[in-house]
Structure 1
């Protein structure tokens, strides 16, 4: 019998049962990590390797074949939707870098930033209304009449149903009447196939937003875009529907040329995404709006795929980057500089600080009026921004965070309008279902 790892597992009260590595008393999981220089894998930075082993690792990295295969696809172009940095050598800012920049402000500078955020929010964000729509077409999901083999979490179903309800309310989706309520799809002969768009779900994850859409509306062609691999996907259930054609692309939205996807040629499509993290929303907008995409290409696009509408639930604004943001000009016109934007994206993380049992907007009593020449006789470390933030009420921090999220999303909303789309920015579910409850809905002008 092969010797086993000598690492003691205190919770299980036994030794690890994995096989030993050669010339070691431990398995691969429990061998002490080398003190050498570890570097991120250049093929996929999700893992790191010893610098001395890097060249040999590149030949056997499990992501190598995937990257090779992807690079020859016609719909792949590295960084096509990434956006551009005005200054040379522009870099992404980590959350730690953003936090340090905020904590490095003077009290007066921090006060000025908060007051600027309050003023801008009051002037441009007053029209974000509640739009919690549960359409009748989604009754089979909201009433739990679906296959019990499919995962069901009420808060996710409410969000998915409301996204589709807002699309229906906005005139992008059409209900299938009684057939939709019963969970069956109309036959192709019962309606005009041209009325049924293809659906592209960005950041699809396991694909259950599309699953609800396919169950409740007569969708025939589906394209799922996701850079990661997931278990327990909706793909298996979707492929069992005879009328549905499903394609999944494992690619980063940043590198996707949607106009070059063969299955979308000559097809009107609807773009959807639930909780697209940070810059993924901006990249999706660039990917979908052909005028913006084509400026990165060497030649004009002759694609005939056509966006008819979109619904994107935004999320994780703390991950947003100035380089990727879709409407930098609008931010600058508002008086928000690159440094202000980076600070605001870090402040958005405050939005989850408080209890979201009720709507927080407007409930805070933020008062950070600090005179520029205010003299503090005590230890100055007691009065720096870091300590001021610690002493702020959770509800005040949450309100500031939500204001920053709204301003960032309004910039995206304005960008869509500038590109000829009718659009709305709404709160699609109550905050007690999800504090990440802003939804961009848009359609081509009729």
Structure 2
């Protein structure tokens, strides 16, 4: 039986010709054209409709239907293809033509290089460009909630900066002995500083309807337990409360808080997030009643948020009076000779009690939120009659691998336990082991037998149902670098890695608890749902020390 395969040529001459660029292409025999190999039709004639854009859409084989300015061939969307300056009526009367005009040049916009502008008309474009930076709001204060200077602003020789720049490769620089010494240190610190954490899974009727209609019910269980804990800690009693949701996302937790407190325009909801998401709950928060609830979304970084300057927290800003009232009498009394501090005292307005909430606030965002609340409390205690302007804090913790040393609020705690800036990076990197349990179990099973298509499908399902399968949770993939580091260390099996990752998380969380206690709060850590519902199942809860947890 003859071999039907083509013989493999060993002649190096074609290779040499190809590298030299002198290889002659083979002659291809023409084939009969089928329906999919139609000859490309010629372009359609130039549009005769007045002021129609002359840009040919390649995929549709027709011209753009938008209108152009008088004298232009292209619309505003395709104006970058305009090669000449349009001729106005005065120039036409003088005998000038479009061909005699100087060609125009388009350059990237300085505000946003994703679009362009005419070089000779740049000043007018910058004035009306939508990407033009807006004036900073009153509550913006650059880096107000950072504990240490950001790495890019710090000295390049500082140890914190070097550790931060290490990134994901810092663990690979450790030898086996150094890694084992670090693991032993973490285990000893956990045994000394981390107490036993209780589990308390609660429920709230505000989520009953959602549980009946939703398929992915785990988020409903988490929100119901969080709101149940808020009710247990008496955070829902005061009808004048301002609920501030940090890292709000769509604002879903605030939406069910509105249901839980049966709000009719008396409560205030402030949502803080860096980017405005789609499918927001802001309209649902407003309500359908004649008097809408006071709802305000602030799109900014928490690190720059001065909570004392947020207008909606003032007592004189309500659902019926949504703007800051102007006090002309006070403005007349303040003269140029008065000190700025006395002017601030005269302008002070009492604030509403604040309850800070968040569901799965990522790593460093939790740290700068705690710093933000502590700064707000310090500034308000000079004027406020309340024991504490912050009535409660409830944050479901998440993504410790995204923590940063310069953001961590309790630097004294790190010094006490002997964790340096570089070791802090190691600690955060290893914390991801605690939430890779689904993938590590899959790896254990596939070690004993060959993988099957069902295993691959199940692994994908487990990964999507872990800590990242939701609108406000974040997936943590198994780290290949950490796998390589632990493969040759017998004590780091999958169960050991998971346990060590959780110990790293709890060490960071205890420092946050101690920070709140130092600032006048009774704080605790509680497992508010089981691990089957969410691997990130720990919440940080705090109320002023005058109240009992």
- Pairwise CA distance, 1:153: 3.5
2:298 to 238, 245, 249: 249
Change (3 A) 1:407 1:401: same
Aligned twin of 1:262: 311
Mapped pair 1:201 → 2:273: no
Mapped pair 1:281 → 2:366: yes
1:80 to 144, 149, 160: 144
SS across alignment from 2:56: coil
Change (3 A) 1:21 1:331: same
1:213 to 212, 234, 257: 257
Moved more, 223-232 or 282-291: 282-291
- Pairwise CA distance, 1:324: 0.5
Unaligned ranges ≥5, structure 2: 1-43, 45-54, 60-76, 82-108, 315-350, 442-480
- Pairwise CA distance, 1:74: 1.4
Moved more, 84-93 or 197-206: 84-93
Aligned twin of 1:171: 234
Matches within 5 A, 1:41-440: 59=126, 64-65=131-132, 67-69=133-135, 71=136, 73-85=137-149, 88-89=154-155, 97-144=166-213, 153-174=216-237, 194-219=238-263, 220-242=267-289, 244-265=293-314, 266-290=351-375, 294=379, 302=383, 306-355=389-438, 387-391=484-488, 392-440=492-540
TM-score computed with the length of structure 2 as normaliser = 0.58
Distance in 2 of aligned mates of 1:63 and 1:311: 37
SS across alignment from 1:404: helix
Aligned twin of 1:3: 56
Change (3 A) 1:96 1:74: closer
- Pairwise CA distance, 1:394: 3.0
Distance in 1 of aligned mates of 2:115 and 2:435: 35
Deviations 1:86-108 (A, max 9, x none): 99426667988233221101111
Aligned twin of 1:375: none
- Pairwise CA distance, 1:325: 0.3
Change (3 A) 1:352 1:86: closer
Unaligned ranges ≥5, structure 1: 7-18, 24-40, 145-150, 175-193, 359-383
SS across alignment from 1:153: coil
Aligned twin of 1:182: none
Moved more, 285-294 or 91-100: 91-100
Distance in 2 of aligned mates of 1:349 and 1:61: 46
Q: Which has the larger radius of gyration?
A: 2
Distance in 1 of aligned mates of 2:150 and 2:268: 39
Cα RMSD (Å): 3.8
Distance in 1 of aligned mates of 2:127 and 2:164: 32
Contact 2:207–2:223 (Cα < 8 Å) also in 1: no
- Pairwise CA distance, 1:398: 2.1
- Pairwise CA distance, 1:78: 0.8
Q: How many residues matched?
A: 357
Matches within 5 A, 1:17-36: none
Aligned twin of 2:542: 442
Moved more, 198-207 or 113-122: 113-122
Distance in 2 of aligned mates of 1:141 and 1:120: 42
Distance in 2 of aligned mates of 1:113 and 1:248: 43
- Pairwise CA distance, 1:135: 2.5
Deviations 1:13-63 (A, max 9, x none): xxxxxx99967xxxxxxxxxxxxxxxxx9979xx9899xx9xx89959977
- Pairwise CA distance, 1:117: 1.1
TM-score computed with the length of structure 1 as normaliser = 0.70
Change (3 A) 1:101 1:399: same
- Pairwise CA distance, 1:326: 0.8
Greater RCO, 1 or 2 (C-alpha within 8 Å, sep 6+): 1
Moved more, 119-128 or 326-335: 119-128
SS across alignment from 1:355: helix
SS across alignment from 1:231: coil
